[in-house]
Amino acid sequence: MPKIQVYALGGTIAMTPTASGMVPSLGAAELVAAVPGLGELADISAETFATIASANLSFLQIKALCEKASLAQCDGIVVTQGTDTLEETSFLASLIYTGDAPLIFTGAMRTPEQLGADGPSNIYNAVLAACDAEGGVYVVMNGEVHDPWQVAKSHTSSLASFRSEDRGPVGHISEGALYLEVHEQQIPIGIGAAVTELPPVALLPAGAEFDIRILEQVVGLGYKGLVIEALGAGHLSEAWADAAETIAKTIPVIFTSRCASGPVFENTYGYKGAEIDLIERGLMPGGNIKSRKARLLLSVLLTDNALDWESRFLAIKASF
Ligand code: DAS
């Protein structure tokens, strides 16, 4: 049977009721024990890596997890964690995990106590995907397989919360079988073993009549990059465009779209604050990469060889 390593990090999937409400408490062994039939799928090893809400997961923890996973003597790895940051931790893992075994992230929208708890079926499906996928990093939720470059948590409670708005899921699990489309996964960038922190990249959403006070503080606060979640196809107010141009003279500024799907434009609108103007002012269009992914991607690109971040970003954008 395939050997599958499960690492538990906490989250709703591991939460139990207390007088003050649900808190993360279950470890990997308890989560695995609660999944009927798992033992027929694979030879499971379970390790509790953390027992926290996913909002508290750090870069260092994800880096350590990826290093551990790449050394694990197994055929696949499953990570269970909270869903609040699952779209970012799995994306970060897709940038830095260089192991050959598939790395599958999953979680739950309901606690084990709640009716219709989805944790056990998500773990079962994630183990099945870890057994059958060739390699790469995926998110398995609600019977679907998603690419970390695409997926986002779209609903606060729905079992179908995890959606890839632009291209849909890259696979699904039906009748105990994995159906995975053949698709190009992004090549991991990797990160030096000595790296202990990511250069901080700010993420600021634009909006109607937003003023520029926060924008003007970004460089002074020590951020090494900025992602602006722009309006529509990549548009800002004139005031934001002026402020962003000044910032782009000091640190990289990428603009993405706040729309749930669709790329930012690069050569359609020419008014002040539109994409053609922003590019002329030194901002980098983010293509189809969404803001929370762009923030982490820029941060990893700035970790080493920061000078050539632009050419590396352009190459990645072109292949995405
Ligand atoms: N929001 C809970 C969850 O969905 C907690 C968390 O993300 O850790 O798992």
In ligand 1, the atom with minimum distance to the C-alpha of 12 is: 9
Given a contact cutoff of 8 angstroms between Cβ atoms, the answer to whether 231 and 278 are in contact is no
pLDDT (0 to 100) of residue 37? 96
Q: Running along the chain, 320 residues long, what does each successive block of 10 average in pLDDT? A: 98 97 96 97 98 97 97 97 98 96 98 97 98 96 98 98 97 96 85 92 97 97 98 98 98 98 98 98 98 98 88 93
Cβ(12) – ligand 1 distance below 6 Å: yes
Given a contact cutoff of 8 angstroms between Cβ atoms, the answer to whether 285 and 266 are in contact is yes
Residue 85 CA to ligand 1 center (angstroms) comes to 8
pLDDT (0 to 100) of residue 304? 81
Cβ(54) – ligand 1 distance below 6 Å: yes
Cβ(80) – ligand 1 distance below 6 Å: no
pLDDT (0 to 100) of residue 185? 84
In ligand 1, the atom with minimum distance to the C-alpha of 109 is: 4
pLDDT (0 to 100) of residue 305? 75
Cβ(11) – ligand 1 distance below 6 Å: yes
Structure-derived torsion over alpha carbons of residues 136, 138, 140, 141, reported in degrees to the nearest 10: 180
pLDDT (0 to 100) of residue 111? 98
* Model confidence pLDDT, tens digit, residues 223-262: 999 999 999 999 999 999 999 999 999 999 999 999 999 9
Cβ(107) – ligand 1 distance below 6 Å: yes
pLDDT (0 to 100) of residue 306? 79
Nearest CA to ligand 1 atom 6: 82
pLDDT (0 to 100) of residue 286? 98
pLDDT (0 to 100) of residue 184? 79
Probe ligand 1: pick from 9, 12, 89, max atoms within 8 Å of CB? 12
Nearest CA to ligand 1 atom 9: 82
Question: DSSP string spanning the chain?
Answer: --EEEEEEEESGGGEEEETTEEEE---HHHHHHTSTTHHHH-EEEEEEEEEE-GGG--HHHHHHHHHHHHH--SSEEEEE--STTHHHHHHHHHHH---SS-EEEE--SS-TTSTT--HHHHHHHHHHHHHH--SSEEEEETTEEE-TTT-EE--SS-TT-EE-TTT--SEEEETTEEEE---PPPPP----TT--SPPPEEEEE--TT--SHHHHHTTTTT-SEEEEEEBTTTB--HHHHHHHHHHHTTS-EEEEESSSSSPPPSSS--STTSHHHHHHTTPEE-TT--HHHHHHHHHHHTTS-GGGHHHHHHHHHHH-
Residue 1 CA to ligand 1 center (angstroms) comes to 32
Q: Which domains does the chain have, with CATH numbers?
A: 3-180 (3.40.50.1170), 201-319 (3.40.50.40)
Probe ligand 1: pick from 16, 23, 49, 54, max atoms within 8 Å of CB? 54
